[in-house]
Structure 1
Amino acid sequence: MNADTNLTTPYFMIDEKKLIENLEKAKTLKALSGVKLVLALKCFSTWGVFDIIKPYLDGTTSSGPFEVKLGHETFGGETHAYSVGYSEQDVRDVADIADKMIFNSQSQLKAYRHLVEGKASVGLRLNPGVSYAGQDLADPARAFSRLGVQFDHIEASVFESIDGVMFHMNCENKDVDAFVLLLEAISERFGDYLNQLDWVSLGGGVFFTWPGYDIEKLATALKAFSERHNVQLYLEPGEAIITKTTDLVVTVVDIVENEKQTAIVDSATEAHRLDTLIYNEPASIAEASEQGQYPYVIGSCSCLAGDQFCEATFDEPLKIGQRLHILDSAGYTMVKLNWFNGLRMPSIFCRRENGDIQKLNEFDYNDFKRSLSQWSVN
């Protein structure tokens, strides 16, 4: 397939060329710093394009047992297993396929370490108490955080039985200087502990692929940290790998007016782009124009009154049947798709470098039905 004009909306279109541009930046960072990069599956798990990503990264990291299995089966390399709260069965399910098993608390470490020893390298998440996050909901160092062990709660003896630690304190951090300051704070406060370890993961949220980001400055800071504490460093990029690679393509199905004109499209933030709703961060539309004379609310087709993608202006009036491209729609979208209102689930495609369009997945009524019950009711 080499044209998308006949594809049924809504659908995601991943652009291989744009994905490779991000991955080349990741390659540069690795070469300059010595850091290893593992893809954060919580952000992006569309394994149909892992053939593009695998040559550039070192493996995957997870936030739950199914992600561990997916990373192991479809990506390979290093498989890092982490969860905020494991059950014993979770640990048993992934202990044989994980290369690193990272526990969120000292109590979980004590309870389940014996199931992992001899199979995977054991780690513990620490909470640095400092962070860079624009939203309180996504701030790991927020008040009363349950994420990782606080400094004053650390039992020093625990470092005798672990190989590494994981920090996660960034969310969409596009400021390299701010990250360097966080790194220095961690080194100063936790340095004596880090010196006893083999590896340290600094988590995700470092937006090193953002336009203008100083990758060389980041690499210098990472390399210095690694050498100071004699550890192998890891980053867990998610959004940084797939940012600006994917459009959610929708169709205008109606236009209504109530003081403002609303173009209703055949998609919904509640079902297909949930973070737009959760974080109240308006989407961007490729066809919009800052100087446009025709303003519209781009409204979802769900029943939720406040469910809208954004407000935007256009150079020409929108028409029913017109397609719109909702930009930068890869991160935390396909992993969060749901069947709210029984809406049609977006198909997933990839435009390859040669222009061919590859279908990665599509969904129908049977998928919707099967997600709710499996057995017939008499």
Structure 2
Amino acid sequence: MKLATPYYLIDEQKLMRNLKIIEQVRQLSGAKSVLALKCFSTWCVFDLMCQYMDGTTSSSLFEAKLGYEKFGKETHAYCVGYSPEDIQAVAQFADKIIFNSVSQLEMYYDIARSAKVGLRVNPGLSHSHFDLADPARKFSRLGVVNKAELVRQLPRLSGLMVHYNCENDDFDIFSRQLDFLGGCYGDLLKELQWISLGGGLYFTKEGYPVEKFCSKLREFAAEFNLQIYLEPGESAITGSAELVTSVVDLVHNEMDIAIVDASVEAHMLDLLIYRLAAKMENGDGGDYRYMVAGRSCLAGDVFGTFNFTEKLKIGSEIRFADAAGYTMVKKNWFNGLQMPAIAVRRLDGSIQVVRTFTYTDFINNLS
């Protein structure tokens, strides 16, 4: 099927690879996995994902409600700062309500106590390649640092949440981290029912020692008699989607530049934030080198520089890989550019266009 570009294409067969590993982790370790909606919330594939995952976790009221309505199963509600209206709303449907601070816990406990109540802790360690994403950075507002405060709040809590990783694909580092957590919080954990280890653990990466990972989780859960939760975002959807674009112009300024009908700023914003190049399968094996740029007015709207096996021309198709995590959730209407459609290649190979965007969507996004 030839679709009009630009569009995001989610491939359920590629998604299944990750989901089967997540299922394997549950079977071997007992750890449950809840999808981190801040990373991926494109609910047209939730019917498939919910067969292999245990629910969702959120960063806001709207995400929590989406998880409850579209994914089902367990709904974990977390937010850095709830408003009174937020907490009243999530208390109507959330299975777990996790607070970021003691002050919010004390303020809203009487409302939240109908659910299982948790508190985020900041253990002072992290694994992140970027200061922007480091939850243990200096002056971090994310989680409770003071252990004495945690002890005082223990009667109100059923569990703790610790989110301290970002794209950690090193099992040995994870193992040392878990030992540290057990040593630091073990006396508290023995009084609780569950712990969430957050997301950022890249256990679906090719070659990751999944069985060793599961053994470590199982031993930790047994030592403290806890239900462990993982919050995979990228690990759930990595490698499962593309942003498909077409060349609309070719220019030359000391090098050949291809301009496509999409934009990094509008359609792959995370790359711009972290100053990363887009990924492209077979993007370095040819003789024809082009900078590929977006069509917004931003001078730095550049996907990257790639080598192609053939010369590009107007209408040539260019596919950017890994366009699911932190991509569709951040798309925006900058410059009023055409929003990419959302399409899914289903398990049977058929392609379904599940959403297109028009000028009406653009004007309704404004006021």
Q: Give the alignment's TM-score, normalised by structure 2.
A: 0.98
Match of 1:376 in 2: none
- The one of 88, 92, 101 aligned to 2:88: 92
Match of 1:179 in 2: 174
8 Å CA contact 1:286–1:324 kept in 2: the answer is: no
Q: Residues 132 and 340 of structure 1: is their aligned pair in 2 closer, same or farther, counting only changes over 3 Å?
A: same
Is the 8 Å Cα contact of residues 159 and 193 (structure 2) preserved in structure 1?
yes
- Offset, 1:292: 2.1
- Report what 2:45 is aligned to: 49
Q: Report what 1:197 is aligned to.
A: 192
Match of 2:293 among 277, 299, 320: 299
Partner of 1:348: 342
Q: Deviations over 1:58-79 (max 9, x none)?
A: 1000000000100000111000
CA distance in 2, matches of 1:291, 1:243: 23
| CA distances 1:316-349 after superposition (whole Å, capped 9, x unpaired) | 2111110011011100111111000000000001
Are the counterparts in 1 of residues 192 and 226 from structure 2 also a CA contact under 8 Å? yes
| Among candidates 36, 42, 48, match of residue 32 of structure 2 | 36
Counterpart of 2:343 in structure 1: which amino acid?
Answer: F
Counterpart of 2:56, as a letter, is T
Answering whether residue 357 of structure 2 is matched by residue 363 of structure 1, we say yes
Shift of 1:285: 2.1
1:152 deviation in Å? Answer: 4.8
What is the rounded CA distance, in whole Å, between the counterparts of 1:40 and 1:363 in structure 2?
25
Greater mean deviation of Cα atoms: 148-157 or 24-33: 148-157
> Counterpart in 2 of 1:272?
267
277-286 vs 209-218, which moves further: 277-286
Secondary structure of the 1:70 match is helix
Q: Which of 115, 130, 135 is the equivalent residue of 1:140?
A: 135
Structure 1 residue 153: Cα displacement: 6.0
Take 1:48 and 1:291, find their aligned partners in 2: how far apart are those partners?
A: 34
Distance (Å, rounded) in 1 between the aligned partners of 2:27 and 2:164: 24
Q: CA deviation at 1:155?
A: 4.2
The two structures, once aligned, show a CA RMSD in angstroms of 1.0
CA contact (8 A) 2:80 2:142 kept: yes
Query: Which residue among 148, 151, 154 is the counterpart of 1:159?
Result: 154
For residues 152 and 220 of structure 1, the distance between their equivalents in structure 2, rounded to whole angstroms, comes to 28
Q: Determine the C-alpha separation between the residues in 2 that align with 1:153 and 1:326.
A: 48
**Structure-1 separation of matches of 2:262 and 2:292:** 10
Q: 1:63 is matched with which residue?
A: 59
Secondary structure of 1:200's match? strand
Which letter does structure 1 place at the counterpart of 2:281?
Answer: A
Kindly indicate whether residue 220 of structure 2 is the aligned counterpart of residue 225 of structure 1: yes
Pair 1:175–1:307, CA change in 2 (3 A): same
Aligned pair 1:114/2:110, yes or no? yes
Conserved 8 A contact 1:139-1:169: yes
Shift of 1:154: 2.7
Name the amino acid aligned to 2:214.
A
Distance 2:101 2:253 in 1: 52
For 2:93 and 2:300, how far apart are their aligned partners in 1?
Answer: 43
Structure 1 unmatched runs, 5+: 374-378
TM-score w.r.t. length of structure 1: 0.95
Work out the CA distance in 1 between the residues paired with 2:322 and 2:147.
Answer: 40
Summarize the Cα distance change of 1:135–1:153 in structure 2 as closer, same or farther, 3 Å threshold. Answer: farther
Identity value in percent: 52
Would the aligned equivalents of 2:144 and 2:150 in 1 still touch at CA under 8 Å?
A: no
Deviations 1:112-161 (A, max 9, x none): 011111x2100000011111111111111111111000145634210111
Contact 2:64 2:75 survives alignment (8 Å): yes
SS in 2 for 1:154: helix
The counterpart of 1:320, out of the listed 294, 314, 318, is: 314
Which of 15, 22, 28 is equivalent to 2:18? 22
1:72-91 correspondence to structure 2 within 5 Å: 72-91=68-87
Post-superposition offset of 1:96: 1.1
Q: 8 Å contact 1:287–1:324 — kept in the other structure?
A: no
1:183-225 per-position Cα deviation (integer Å, ceiling 9, x unaligned): 1111111111111101100000111110001111110111111
3-state SS of 1:115 partner: helix
Please list every run of at least 4 consecutive aligned residues from structure 1 whose deviation after the TM superposition is greater than 4 angstroms.
none
Pick closer, same or farther for the CA change 1:153–1:260 going to 2, 3 Å. farther
SS of equivalent to 1:355:
coil
